[in-house]
Amino acid sequence: MGILYDDVVIIRHDLCRLILLFGLNIVRVDVCTDGKWCYIVFWVIGKPSTRWGLLKKRLMGVCPSCSSASGIYFYQSEVQPPKPPDVFLLKFCCRNRRGLLHDGRVIDLFFITDTRELMHTKKRQEDTYDHLKEVLGDAISSCEIEMVGPEIAACSQGSSFLPPAITEDKFNSYLDEQQSGSLPSNGVSINMDNSLSPGHTLVQIVCQDHKGLLYDIMRTLKEFNMQISYGRFTTNQKRNCELDLFIMQADGKKLVDPSKQNSLCSRIRMELVRPLRVALVSRGPDRELLVANPVELSGKGRPLVFYDITLALKMIDTGIFSAEIGRHMIGDREWEVYRVLLDEGDGSTVPKNRIEEAVWKMLMGWE
């Protein structure tokens, strides 16, 4: 896929987000820009069910026109705070089966947002119902979608308490141990070089491929307000990746400050080794699965996380009693935390390490 668009730093991240959302496997990427126009070529592997026409439409939707993007080059969160999305309550009643959230006949409530901002229209609601009907068939008996007020949306955030297994201290200590050599590095290598270009810093990354790899790197660079002028991404048959990125700061200068270099390298390393956090903890007599991922500056969460969690649990025949999704500040970053209370009432208990491994591999695309 070749894409030419007016260059805005946040767009490359949004393109990677879309490709992740469509479940495509990226084999190679080339990107170059003159500061105004950017050209990206993605070599991807799709699936028989890939909707290429819809993907093209969505890609064109996130690429701004020349008139709408002229003069905008860097994401300024303090100047353009993200608008809180409208929250809708999706309520449907159906007969249950393994793979849904409960046993028996249930009413499931989902607080949802629409990235296309069309959920208030009748057509968008009808399309949503049609997709649910296609998946659930005759099991679904009713479906309602209505906008809710801010007081109801606030209640949808769930519990504010987080157990120690999901706190920043644990993740920071994990990274410290890894950098000190007490844990394996998982083959991650990050080097910066300021000698090869008069105006750019070269960032060279070698790592193992995972689902959303480019999304994680672009998100991190966006958070550090870095601009990519040229880049190349390649993978081999052993799922190893090599990236060469020529970057510069928001002021158009190279990244030469050692402390800023170390900060960027540490964050990229963390995102490559542990882009998500997975832990299974005890909650009284029950067990709760916790999955956390960083929230983007735009306020969006990582695509397909809940889908991957539920699919992984279904594949190891583990039921779900309830699920919550909430936003929490952990350290200086906002995280989206999924809390899934497992349904193990039949007495069968899947080992803790098997559940964590199954969910982790599904999220990383290693299943």
Question: Mind spelling out the 3-state secondary structure of the chain?
Answer: CEEEEECCHHHHHHHHHHHHHCCCEEEEEEEEECCCEEEEEEEEECCCCCCHHHHHHHHHHHCCCHHHHCCCCCCCCCCCCCCCCCCEEEEEEEECCECECCCCEEEEEEEECCCCCCCCCHHHHHHHHHHHHHHHHHHEEEEEEEECCHHHHHHCCCCCCCCHHHCHHHHHHHHHHHHHCCCCCCCCEEEEECCCCCCCEEEEEEEECCCCHHHHHHHHHHHCCCEEEEEEEEECCCCEEEEEEEEECCCCCCCCCHHHHHHHHHHHHHHHHCCCEEEEEEECCEEEEEEEEECCCCCCCCCCHHHHHHHHHHHCCCEEEEEEEEEEEECCEEEEEEEEEEECCCCCCCCHHHHHHHHHHHHHCCC
What would the two tokens of residue 280 be?
Answer: 């299974």
Class of domain 6-69+193-273: alpha beta
CB 257 within 8 A of CB 270: no
| β-bridge partners, 241 | 207, 235
Contacts of 325 (CB under 8 A, 6+ apart): 158, 306, 336, 337, 338, 339
CA–CA separation, 173 vs 155, rounded Å? 33
Res 263: pLDDT: 94
CB 233 within 8 A of CB 27: no
CA–CA separation, 165 vs 273, rounded Å? 17
- Of 133, 22, 120, 3, the C-alpha closest to 62 is 3
Write down the CATH superfamily of domain 276-364. ACT domain (3.30.70.260)
CA–CA separation, 88 vs 129, rounded Å? 14
Res 8: pLDDT: 46
> Residue ranges of the chain with pLDDT lower than 50?
5-9, 66-79, 102, 170-171, 173-184
The letter for the amino acid at 265 is C
Neighbours of 144 (CB within 10 A): 13
Q: pLDDT digit string (tens) for 288-310?
A: 999 999 998 888 889 999 999 99
What would the two tokens of residue 301 be?
Answer: 């969460």
- Of 334, 339, 330, the C-alpha closest to 167 is 330
Res 189: pLDDT: 93
Res 12: pLDDT: 67
The letter for the amino acid at 219 is R
What would the two tokens of residue 3 be?
Answer: 């894409």
pTM of the complete model: 0.79
Where exactly does CATH 3.30.70.260 map onto the chain? Answer: 6-69+193-273, 276-364
Contacts of 306 (CB under 8 A, 6+ apart): 323, 325, 338
- Name the residue with tokens 């009643």: 93
Q: How far is CA 71 from CA 33, 66, 94, 367, in A?
A: 14, 9, 51, 43
